[in-house]
């Protein structure tokens, strides 16, 4: 507590500055997510305050971020779609998923898994971050053009037949749930169908139209129509925002250019009384918890989204800990990764209860905090309080912000979040795999797979597939490298120093094999050929294992198969220098002593030679 107030002036200035920087982004991310600007603001307030209070990085500023918002957007759209397009009906389920993600982050921190997040391969992170940028860019093209599919009457009209079909399907599902047999009570179905109004059909048609144009792929499909229905005022507001954001940075970076663009373009739109489209109204007053999360909780409605919640939790963890590393480099301190995950989890959990979207440590806001004088957790807490004051005092004014201005802000966020470092490295990376007639880098392949799948299919599954491919390729590379060093192949091997005095008369009867390096899945195919290497004259095989430090399950069974083959040929096998781990593995499945008795295991080659001289006869 003493350290908390050791830098009040610097923390106050850093927190206030970071809070101001966070405002336009919080509003924009809220609108982008589909829950509205209030959700973004609530997320920024609670995550910033509680992640700072309980976290393990003193200078970190947390809140909604581009990656977390992109995944949240997919989650929200999917849950709304299965709830008849009714956001009010879907909201408790959405917030419960966000709450579950926060609780999972707390669990990751308690279990001490924070230190393992760094092992996620760079190509997966690179592909994902670039995909986030592409998704944000594509999804913000339509609002920046002033085109909203739900309001395009001709486009909505094309969905009316499908809307009628969906409504009838819902009636049949309701009747099935109520135990009504349609064929026996067809009149009941007709009565319900006759109550369908044109307003119901229109509403469902609008929902289907919005769904068709949602996501990156939907935005591309809707772009031709959008270009035919450009709202030039909205486009000018969006372009003006983008120009100010990039142009003002060239003048000075002392004042956040995003905030300048927000104030200037909103001021022009309001001051000149332009007929623009404002964002959703931001409610005044203190945030109120959404208790429906608990009162309407049903395990069945959450089960399909457990993996999604875990993805959100892991993504938030990666995002936050990467920002923590940046903060460490700037402040010459060391963060506590597991404590940071607990803090982020608490912040996300509380934000979910109050209707906020999830977030993570935000790099730009953290850098702003540090450069403005922030040094302790108090700065992050002040940033949250600052946003709460803005909500309470300026909520009605913020509600007048043009939607096109936030679209312009998000376009610059999309451009900035892409991993240009990874993209620039593509031509220079070694082409180590062959795909048909083409050769390419495995890292590039992983990045492109994650990028394309994330952009045009599913963010959650794309990351999982990317991790699997990266793991398989890593195992193959390590397997190939280790197999090169793990020498189990040559028939005629160079004798080791202590083998120079081996009895000449027994060289026909005794075959000596050296295994250098681990016996694992990458080297088992060569090891399995060992029996074919043994000359027909041999009656005894000495396997020198002093340099075989490790054996995995694949290697274990390869050893068992080889020993069984030799046993059938009545060839005795002697082990020399067997190390602890391989011995433990072989004892577990009774290779020792069933196939290799303990008296055939020697600590030194000298002891083995003594046994050979006493037990092996010179036949040739």
Instruction: State the residue for tokens 């579950």.
Output: 100
Q: How confident is the model at residue 20 (pLDDT cuts 50, 70, 90)?
A: confident
**How many Å apart are CA 270 and CA 400, to the nearest integer?**
8
pLDDT at 351: 96
Q: Reply yes or no on whether the pLDDT at 491 is more than 50.
A: no
Q: Is 246 helix (H, G, I), strand (E, B) or coil?
A: helix
Dump pLDDT digits (tens) for 94-126.
Answer: 999 999 999 999 999 999 887 776 667 778 878
pLDDT at 100: 95
Please give the full DSSP string across 4-57, using - where no structure is assigned: GGTTHHHHHHHHHHHHHHHHHHHHHHHHHHTS-HHHHHHHHHHHHHHHHHH-S-
Q: How confident is the model at residue 350 (pLDDT cuts 50, 70, 90)?
A: very high
Q: How confident is the model at residue 482 (pLDDT cuts 50, 70, 90)?
A: low
pLDDT at 166: 83
3-state DSSP helix/strand/coil percent for the chain, to nearest 5? 70, 5, 25
**How many Å apart are CA 409 and CA 23, to the nearest integer?**
12
Residue with the bigger pLDDT between 135 and 196: it is 135
pLDDT at 384: 94
Q: Reply yes or no on whether the pLDDT at 489 is more than 50.
A: no
**% residues pLDDT > 90 (the chain):** 28
Q: Reply yes or no on whether the pLDDT at 526 is more than 80.
A: no
**How many Å apart are CA 63 and CA 584, to the nearest integer?**
50
pLDDT at 490: 42
* Exposure of 231 in the CB half-sphere (CA atoms within 13 A): 21
Dump pLDDT digits (tens) for 125-155.
Answer: 788 888 888 988 998 999 999 999 988 889 9
- How high does pLDDT run on average in the chain? 84
**Mean pLDDT lowest among 80-84, 104-108, 385-389:** 80-84
pLDDT at 522: 65
pLDDT at 13: 85
pLDDT at 388: 92
pLDDT at 620: 53
pTM of the full structure: 0.73
Dump pLDDT digits (tens) for 320-345.
Answer: 987 887 788 778 888 899 999 999 99
């Amino acid at each position: 507590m003493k350290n908390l107030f050791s830098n009040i002036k610097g923390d106050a200035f850093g927190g206030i500055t970071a809070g101001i920087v966070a405002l336009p982004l919080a509003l924009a991310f809220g609108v982008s997510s589909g829950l509205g600007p209030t959700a973004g603001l609530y997320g920024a307030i609670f995550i910033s305050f509680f992640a700072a209070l309980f976290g393990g990085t003193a200078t970190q500023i947390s809140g909604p971020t581009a990656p977390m918002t992109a995944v949240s957007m997919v989650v929200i759209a999917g849950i709304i779609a299965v709830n008849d397009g009714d956001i009010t009906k879907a909201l408790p389920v959405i917030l419960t998923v966000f709450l579950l993600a926060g609780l999972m982050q707390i669990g990751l921190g308690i279990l001490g898994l924070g230190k393992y997040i760094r092992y996620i391969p760079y190509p997966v992170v690179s592909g994902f971050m670039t995909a986030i940028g592409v998704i944000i860019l594509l999804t913000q093209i339509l609002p920046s053009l002033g085109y909203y599919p739900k309001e395009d009457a001709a486009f909505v009209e094309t969905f009316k037949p499908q809307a009628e079909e969906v409504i009838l399907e819902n009636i049949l599902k309701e009747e099935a749930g109520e135990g009504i047999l349609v064929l026996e009570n067809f009149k009941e179905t007709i009565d319900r169908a006759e109550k369908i109004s044109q307003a119901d059909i229109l509403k469902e048609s609008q929902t289907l139209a919005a769904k068709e144009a949602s996501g990156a792929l939907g935005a591309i499909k809707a772009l031709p129509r959008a270009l035919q229905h450009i709202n030039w005022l909205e486009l000018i507001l969006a372009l003006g925002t983008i120009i100010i954001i990039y142009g003002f940075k060239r003048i000075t970076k002392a004042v956040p250019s995003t905030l300048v663009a927000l104030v200037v373009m909103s001021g022009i739109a309001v001051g000149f009384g332009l007929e623009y489209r404002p964002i959703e109204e931001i409610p005044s007053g203190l945030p109120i918890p959404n208790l429906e999360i608990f009162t309407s909780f049903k395990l069945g409605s959450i089960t399909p989204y457990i993996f999604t919640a875990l993805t959100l939790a892991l993504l938030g963890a990666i995002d936050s800990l990467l920002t923590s590393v940046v903060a460490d480099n700037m402040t010459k301190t060391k963060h506590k990764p597991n404590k940071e995950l607990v803090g982020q989890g608490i912040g996300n959990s509380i934000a979910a209860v109050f209707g906020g979207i999830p977030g993570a440590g935000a790099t730009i806001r953290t850098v702003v905090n540090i450069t403005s004088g922030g040094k302790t957790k108090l700065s992050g807490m002040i940033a949250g309080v600052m946003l709460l004051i803005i909500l309470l005092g300026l909520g009605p004014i913020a509600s007048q912000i043009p939607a096109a201005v936030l679209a312009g802000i998000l376009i610059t966020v999309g451009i900035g979040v892409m991993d240009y470092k990874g993209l620039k490295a593509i031509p220079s990376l070694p082409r180590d795999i062959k795909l048909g007639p083409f050769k390419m880098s495995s890292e590039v392949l992983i990045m492109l797979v994650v990028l394309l799948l994330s952009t045009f299919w599913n963010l959650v599954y794309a990351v999982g597939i990317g991790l699997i491919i990266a793991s398989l390729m890593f195992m193959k590379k390590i397997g190939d490298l280790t197999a090169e060093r793990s020498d189990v192949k040559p028939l005629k091997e160079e004798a080791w120093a202590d083998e120079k005095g081996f009895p000449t008369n027994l060289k026909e009867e005794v075959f000596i094999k050296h295994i250098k390096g681990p016996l694992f899945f990458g080297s088992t195919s060569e090891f399995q050929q060992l029996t074919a290497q043994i000359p027909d004259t041999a009656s005894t095989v000495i396997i020198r294992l002093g340099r075989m430090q490790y054996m995995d399950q694949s290697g274990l069974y390869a050893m068992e198969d080889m020993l069984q083959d030799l046993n059938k040929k009545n060839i005795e096998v002697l082990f020399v220098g067997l190390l602890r781990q391989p011995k433990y593995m072989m004892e577990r499945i009774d290779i020792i002593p069933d196939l290799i008795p303990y008296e055939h295991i020697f600590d030194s080659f000298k002891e083995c030679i003594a046994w050979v001289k006493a037990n092996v006869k010179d036949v040739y």
